[in-house]
Copies of this chain bind each other. A is one copy, B any other.
Amino acid sequence: MNAKPTIAILGGTGDLGSGLAKCWLAAGYKVVIGSRSADKAKSFAKELGGEASGDDNAGAAKAADIVVLAVPFANHEASLREVRDVVQGKIVVDAAVPLVPPKVSVVQLPPEGSAAQIAQRLLGEGVRVVSAFHNVGATKLHQGGRADCDVLVFGDDKASRDIVIELASKVASAGIDGGVLANSAAAEALTSVLIGINRRYKVPGAGIRITGLPAAGQ
């Protein structure tokens, strides 16, 4: 990919998805909003303006180089099945967090280890699954800024991680290479911890920053 990749965001009308869309549009990427309803996606893309378009989830995934999954965990598996055929050979960025209502502030990881590993198993080895954006509060993104936190990026393919680390740098303070996909459990679990911290410390969007890195990585 020499030119900037086109990014589909499934769940792109949601809180996180639309926040990511705003950041990447502002950074000059083409964004295709995906939703279960093509009409809803199209009218939302019109609101966003710029290089945004909209389609149903499968259509959006088909049109893009990189497909970001920003759907609630309850729709995670269904969304993966819906796009499995059209994402072969592509990078799928899974931002799903395995929250189990009502106790969303209690860590309850799935038996498979993480949502990301569920995605990789469902999509098969022809898809490079990268996991990221679990701990990004959307508030700042909607205000037109980057989130004041680091984004841990996981995946079994280093080159794909690097592409997503670049995307993360448009959304938050920095993308940080978190290693293999199995490590996604750490960031997914951390989301429940941060939800609890938001409540206990009465803040809108706690995040994490990795300390001890060289200044350029901060």
Contacts and interface: CB of A to CB of B under 8 A. Distances in A.
Interface of A: 105-109, 113, 137, 148-149, 152, 176-180, 182-183, 185-187, 189-190, 192-194, 196-197, 200-201, 203-214, 217
A159 to B, nearest CB: 14
Contacts of A204: 212
Contacts of A187: 193
26 contacts: A105-B183, A106-B183, A107-B183, A109-B185, A148-B212, A149-B211, A149-B212, A152-B193, A177-B196, A177-B200, A179-B193, A179-B196, A179-B200, A183-B192, A183-B196, A186-B190, A186-B193, A197-B210, A197-B213, A201-B213, A203-B213, A203-B214, A206-B211, A208-B208, A208-B210, A209-B211
- Identical chains in the assembly: 2
A109 B106 contact: no
Given A177-B201, A186-B186, A206-B211, 18 more contacts: A106-B179, A106-B183, A107-B182, A107-B183, A107-B185, A109-B113, A109-B185, A152-B193, A177-B196, A177-B200, A178-B196, A179-B200, A183-B196, A189-B189, A197-B210, A207-B211, A209-B209, A209-B211
A198 to B, nearest CB: 8
Q: Which of A105, A190, A192, A196 has the most CB of B within 10 A?
A: A190
Contacts of A201: 177, 213-214, 217
Main SS of the interface on chain A? mixed
A152 to B, nearest CB: 7
Contacts of A189: 183, 185-186, 189
